[in-house]
A and B are shown apart, each in its own frame.
Chain A
Amino acid sequence: MTKLTVKDFASDLDVRWCPGCGDYAVLKALQKTLADGGSTLEDTLVVSGIGCSSRLPYYMASYGFHSIHGRAPTLATGAKLSNPDLDVWVVTGDGDGLSIGGNHLLHVLRRNVDLQVVLFNNQIYGLTKGQFSPTSRQGTKSPSSPTGSIETGLNPCVFALGAGGQFVARCIDTQAKVLQPVLEAAKAFKGTGFVEVLQNCVIYNDGIFDGLKDKKTGPDHTLHVEHGQPMVFGVNKDKGLRVAKGGFGLEVVRLEGGITQEDLLVHDETNIHLAQALAALGENEGEPVVIGVLYRHEKQEFVEGARHGLPEAPLSRAEKLKRLGATLRKAETWQVS
């Protein structure tokens, strides 16, 4: 069979996101990842909740299920349990996945179900016209918070790691060079591959990630980690992360005054403590937002465990009824004549 192209993965429906919405780029990256990886349309299933981002399944030519608000992980879990051969993707938003569906996201991660979760984080409720979301920064002005939101924003990667996620990554919508390999790695991971995508909502939260995306100055504010590579960043590659001297945690240093790459941390995807520290960076002035695969660690996958003990091959109807008859007779039986 000939390999499918990006176009083959696009459905014939017109994409109806606002022009300039970050969702376009993520859709394209997903389609390209699947095409490049040799996926088939029939074995790919995209399940979503409700939100602008959750419209994505309609634009895929694969199987798709646009479910209800926040519950996509539950449908995805049931589908994957029933047919482990499917490649299952959950598409969710910051409101869908972390507000109404926070519980399900927690548990799908904790269970480590073999599927991918792509969380479109635009730090706003797009579809309902711009209210602040659980990931909105404190002080976000919105229709429901005219004087600025009071709540502290939630960091999705910190949440995912706290929930026991075994594959946790962060990307930026328009940086396909990072996004695509990360999606590929998430798909390859046997367990829940969680990918937070920082996504621009041009209408209700425009430009919040501009600082990170700026071609010129962005590199000063983002650190792209790769397993085994030293943690260097900055426009001039002159900054890095090291273990805080005499303290606990990470600190940003300049590669000057005797500090060299040797002093910097080397990324180790399997180190949970490091991943947690990296995930939390970016809140304070001078700290980079870390992108790439923060954590990847193989652990018991759920579906395999849950299906263990089922008959090796599906039983025939006659065999099942026979076994049911035997099960019913495990209790004491007697004859009435």
Chain B
Amino acid sequence: MPETAQEAPNLRELPVSQTPEVDFVRIRIAGDSGDGIQLTGTRLAESAARFGNDIATFPDFPADIRAPSGTVYGVSAYSLNIGETEVLTFGDESDALVALNPAALKKYMGELKKGGLLIFDSGSFSARALEKAGYESDPREDGTLSHFRLLPIDITELTTSALKESGVSAKDAKRCKNMWTLGLIHWLFEREIDALESWLTEKFANKPEIAEANLLALRAGHLYGEIAELPADISQYHIAPAPLRAGEYRTINGNEAMAYGLYAGATLADLEAFYGSYPITPASPLLHTFAKLKELGALSFQAEDEIAAIGSAIGASYAGHLGITGSSGPGIALKTEALGLAVATELPLVVVNVQRGGPSTGLPTKTEQSDLFQSVFGRNGDTPIPVIAASHPGDCFEVAVEAVKIATKHMTPIFVLSDGYIANAAAPWRLPDLGEGDFAPFPVTKATDPNDFQPFKHDPETLARPWAVPGTPGLMHRIGGLEREEGRGNISYDGDNHQRMTEIRAAKLQAIAKDLPPQTVESGAPSGKLALVGWGSSWGPIRVATRRAVLQGKSVSHIHLRHIWPLPPNLKELLAGFEEIVVPEMNNGQLATLLRAELGRPIRSVSCVKGRPFLVREITEIINNVVGG
């Protein structure tokens, strides 16, 4: 099978599977927001990754901080795909669902496949709880669950009785339900719990009785699987380790990887990092991660609003740091005017947009990739800004490093697009070799020579202007948003100068384009019937669906764009090798529109704005429609 995948340091060329439950299992744990579901899911992801499986996760939680307990909108869930093959998505439907209350059952039952395993806490199915979940009759008795394999367990009761002797209060005992469940799931996947035990002991080092209670619950759940007499149709899942590339691994989510990558980028440029931001879902963890990098020399600043955040970052860049700011759509909108200032003053600046559903406040906790137009076009004046996008959690690190490189090499602000899905999803990540291997340094040279110093004289290759930092003797100059005279940089209202400066700003993007690696095909042949062109986090489902289709001999290829603006110069030529182009994206056709304008040929758009990534099945349908099922 000819594969022409892009060779990124962390990209794993794992086999792709067609057979769920043999090569991978998609399990979803759901319960009340207060049940500790996210923690349980994260731990399960950790241990699956540590076991050597490939994983993809999808944490899904309500926007309310403390949604009323027992209600459907208060349900929190964590979906996990555990595989011995490549799994880049959390799955279209789940093979197993663990529901810790009736509301969780109600919300996610529809996505459990026919014949799937349904484990539920029967102890939570009181009349009151059923009513809160909106059930008119008990789904256990009215046939609703007839096409699932059922495993009802009174988890509440089993947890409390396991902790009877421990001396913790009944309330604290109930809180350990999630650990009991985690123990059981570990049994289900034939996994040991030693690593979890040491994690619990460490986590609750200061509260030994809580540690003990959690340990008891965990062991009881694990043991239950061993000794309880389970129905004959319930068997364990046997998923072997995936043949991952050798190296040292950890799990990482996109926000963490982005913050670490930006710090790494600044470091490789020999700059100090400055992160100015204002809290917003789902970008806040970037600020939290930066705050913890202070010992490493990174400055972070929680500003009074997003305008102040970008203002402080521009000020920091002017003073010689690498200014970085991050937000999500509504916050990015507030930064618009200052972005123009960064373009006008030609200062390096990295702007991260962790996209969420819009317009306006939209769907704050749900993912979308609908800020592409905002990034490429959303400013007054002719104000070009390069835009690059990350495709999966680990990719955020590399994209961040590349963004710093472009920003400093060309003296320009740059947009880095992530989204709510990549930001929160955890994936195994092979740690980069920071010592020498994976990333070459790209140290920045600041201006120091007063001889013929001209703040707005541009390098003929990169179109960067000199970066002259306050504090440098002899290089004093004034910059600002009023048009600057080419070269000396004084205020200039001259029309011809403005024409030239506008052209220089546009040419800067061409200089960036010239530097881009040629666009390649992600999977599939370099030419053929159908090209699926994607960007951002739709990478996962498009890749999986394409690889499966290719295995079935279909003429389809996946082209994934990291560089959104400017587009790779060879894209047009590459796409000329395909009869049809379809762009699946989590917006109403923004990349498709951009490509139509840039490439001048018909392009079909497939949109999904349902607050979740594409399902593999949805992409497969596109493929089948074009090349035949």
**Using a CB–CB distance below 8 Å, which chain A residues touch chain B?**
11, 13, 40-43, 45, 47, 50, 57-58, 60-68, 71, 73-83, 85-86, 103-104, 106-107, 306-307, 309-311, 314-315, 317, 320-325, 327-329, 331-337
Contact = CB atoms under 8 A, between A and B. Distances in A.
Contact of B295 (A42, A85, A311, A337): A311
The 3 closest A-B pairs by CB, nearest first: A74-B311, A78-B315, A66-B480
Contact of B316 (A47, A81, A85, A336): A81
B270 A78 contact: no
A79 B315 contact: yes
Nearest to B198: A332
20 contacts: A42-B470, A42-B476, A45-B319, A50-B481, A57-B480, A64-B479, A77-B312, A78-B301, A79-B319, A79-B470, A81-B299, A85-B471, A309-B295, A310-B294, A315-B297, A328-B250, A331-B251, A334-B249, A334-B250, A335-B249
Given A68-B338, A324-B434, A328-B431, A78 B274 contact: yes
A81 B268 contact: no
A40 B476 CA distance: 11
Contact of B320 (A13, A83, A310, A327): A83
Contacts of B430: 336
A64 B478 contact: yes
A75 B310 CA distance: 8
Contact of A43 (B49, B470, B475, B481): B470
A320 B481 contact: no
A82 B250 contact: no
B46 interface: yes
Contacts of B49: 334
A71 B338 CA distance: 9
Nearest to A69: B337
B320 to A, nearest CB: 6
B264 A324 contact: yes
A51 to B, nearest CB: 13
B362 interface: no
Interface of B: 46, 49-50, 52, 195, 199, 244-252, 260, 263-264, 267-268, 270, 272, 274, 276, 292-297, 299, 301, 303-305, 307-321, 323, 337-338, 340-341, 345, 430-431, 434-435, 441, 443, 469-482, 490-491
Contact of A86 (B248, B312, B441, B471): B471
A9 B471 CA distance: 15
B299 A107 contact: no
A45 B470 contact: yes
B247 A83 contact: no
Contact of B319 (A60, A86, A314): A86
A190 B52 CA distance: 56
A336 B321 contact: no
B149 to A, nearest CB: 32
B439 to A, nearest CB: 9
A104 to B, nearest CB: 6
A77 B316 CA distance: 8
A324 B299 contact: no
Given A82-B274, A331-B250, A334-B50, A306 B299 contact: yes
B474 A324 contact: no
Contact of A321 (B267, B272, B305, B472): B267
A163 B481 CA distance: 29
Contacts of B270: 317
Contacts of A307: 299
Contacts of B309: 74
B338 A82 contact: no
Given A67-B341, A77-B301, 20 more contacts: A42-B476, A43-B471, A45-B470, A65-B478, A66-B478, A67-B311, A74-B303, A77-B312, A82-B315, A85-B471, A86-B470, A104-B311, A320-B263, A321-B434, A324-B260, A324-B267, A329-B431, A331-B251, A332-B195, A337-B246
B477 A75 contact: no
Contact of B246 (A311, A315, A336): A336
B479 A65 contact: yes
B428 to A, nearest CB: 9
Contact of A309 (B276, B294, B311, B338): B294
Residue with the greatest number of chain A CB neighbours at <10 A, chosen from B295, B318, B441: B318
B487 to A, nearest CB: 15
Residue with the greatest number of chain A CB neighbours at <10 A, chosen from B195, B248, B260: B248
Given A57-B478, A78-B311, A333-B431, A327 B250 contact: no
A323 B296 contact: yes
Contact of A107 (B52, B263, B304, B338): B304
A306 B323 CA distance: 16
B304 A61 contact: no
Contacts of B248: 329, 333-336
A319 B135 CA distance: 60
A98 to B, nearest CB: 15
B480 A320 contact: no
Nearest to A85: B471
B249 A323 contact: no
B481 A67 contact: yes
Residue with the greatest number of chain A CB neighbours at <10 A, chosen from B293, B308, B309, B478: B478
Given A320-B296, A334-B248, A79 B318 contact: yes
B267 A104 contact: no
Given A77-B301, A82-B321, A331 B252 contact: yes
A82 B347 CA distance: 15
A75 B318 contact: yes
B264 A63 contact: no
A84 to B, nearest CB: 10
Contacts of A64: 477-480
Contact of B299 (A82, A86, A337): A82
Contacts of A314: 272, 297
A66 B301 contact: no
A36 to B, nearest CB: 19
A328 B435 CA distance: 13
Nearest to B244: A336
Residue with the greatest number of chain B CB neighbours at <10 A, chosen from A77, A307, A311: A77
B31 to A, nearest CB: 24
Contacts of A65: 315, 318, 345, 478-480
Given A74-B303, A77-B301, A81-B316, A62 B308 contact: no
A327 B252 CA distance: 12
Contacts of B475: 42
Nearest to B302: A306
A16 to B, nearest CB: 9
B299 A310 contact: yes
A333 to B, nearest CB: 5
Contacts of A76: 315
A68 B246 CA distance: 51
A42 B474 contact: yes
A284 B363 CA distance: 52
Residue with the greatest number of chain A CB neighbours at <10 A, chosen from B248, B312, B472: B312
Nearest to B300: A306
A254 B314 CA distance: 54
Given A328-B260, A334-B50, A78 B252 contact: no
B260 A327 contact: yes
A11 B318 CA distance: 20
A83 B319 CA distance: 6
A314 B296 CA distance: 9
A328 B429 CA distance: 11
Contacts of A311: 295-297
Contact of A320 (B267, B317, B321, B474): B267
A337 B241 CA distance: 11
Contacts of B443: 317
